[in-house]
């Protein structure tokens, strides 16, 4: 293990695979999903356009890129320009980007999302899920974390956008390469990488108390 990877694990920037021994079907770095799995379908998620969105709205798209992101994480902020550039490139390839935020702090709320989308001129859907259900279903743990879905909406790639958290000195363009492979009818050479970013601010799920035996 290199020093840089060790430091990222120690500071919580890469997922420590807690409880992986209990997972029977999961990816190398994702605790819930594996490559080739059907992507979870969302519906009735509100976007910054005040419209309700569903995965089924994109049934004519050959590729859908799902990015779990937010406003407040510096790694997510560093990715914004690359997402804008990618969305422009995808317009000619019958593909789409969907960004989803599930954090519930004020700086990541829907009003802040609308301001962000306007200031950065997002041309892709930016959706909010206050239930956090869709992120849990994807097994997403970080912002940003990317999933490339093929025409059958199976997961073809998941992990980091590329090999540069801050967008400098990029050597490997994982998401771009996965999109090109799917459009060409091939499996991506790299199908999963470690997502690097800020932890998603999941709310604790309350356990239902069992009734006392009489």
Contact call for residues 201 and 105 (beta carbons, < 8 A):
yes
Phi-psi region of 75 (alpha: psi -120 to 50; beta: other; left: phi over 0): alpha
pLDDT computed for residue 5 by the predictor: 39
Cβ neighbours around 185 below 10 Å, total? 8
pLDDT computed for residue 7 by the predictor: 38
pTM of the model: 0.85
pLDDT computed for residue 182 by the predictor: 97
Is residue 208 packed enough to be buried (19+ CB in 10 Å), middle (13-18) or exposed (0-12)? exposed
Contact call for residues 160 and 148 (beta carbons, < 8 A):
no
pLDDT computed for residue 91 by the predictor: 86
pLDDT computed for residue 26 by the predictor: 82
pLDDT computed for residue 92 by the predictor: 86
Would strands 145-149 and 63-68 be described as parallel, antiparallel, or unpaired? antiparallel
pLDDT computed for residue 19 by the predictor: 34
Query: What's the CA gap between 20 and 24, in Å, rounded?
Result: 8
Q: What is the pLDDT along the chain (214 residues), one digit of tens a residue?
A: 433 433 343 344 444 333 333 344 688 999 999 999 999 999 999 999 999 999 999 999 999 999 999 999 999 999 999 999 999 999 889 999 999 999 999 999 999 999 999 999 999 999 999 999 999 999 999 999 999 999 999 999 999 999 999 999 999 999 999 999 999 999 999 999 999 999 999 998 665 565 555 5
- CATH number for the domain running over 37-199: 3.40.30.10
Could you give the 3-state DSSP secondary structure of residue 46? Answer: strand
Integer Rg of the chain from CA: 17
Query: What's the CA gap between 29 and 129, in Å, rounded?
Result: 23
Domain ranges (residues) in the chain: 37-199
pLDDT computed for residue 114 by the predictor: 98
């Amino acid at each position: 293990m290199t020093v840089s990877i060790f430091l990222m694990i120690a500071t919580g920037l890469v997922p420590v695979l807690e409880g992986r021994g209990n997972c029977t079907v999961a990816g190398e770095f994702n605790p819930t999903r594996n490559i080739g799995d059907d992507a979870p379908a969302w519906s009735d998620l509100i976007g910054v356009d005040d419209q309700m969105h569903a995965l089924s709205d994109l049934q004519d798209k050959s590729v859908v890129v799902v990015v779990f992101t937010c406003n407040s994480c510096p790694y997510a902020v560093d990715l914004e320009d690359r997402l804008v550039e990618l969305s422009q490139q995808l317009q000619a390839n019958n593909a789409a980007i969907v960004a989803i935020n599930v954090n519930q702090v004020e700086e990541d709320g829907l009003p802040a999302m609308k301001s962000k989308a306007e200031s950065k001129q997002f041309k892709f859907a930016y959706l909010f899920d206050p239930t956090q259900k869709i992120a849990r279903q994807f097994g997403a743990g970080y912002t940003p974390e990317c999933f490339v879905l093929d025409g059958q909406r199976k997961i073809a790639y998941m992990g980091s956008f590329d090999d540069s958290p801050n967008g400098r000195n990029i050597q490997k363009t994982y998401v771009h390469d996965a999109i090109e492979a799917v459009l060409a009818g091939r499996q991506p050479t790299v199908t999963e990488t470690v997502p690097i970013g800020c932890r998603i601010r999941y709310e604790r799920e309350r356990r239902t108390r069992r009734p006392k035996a009489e």
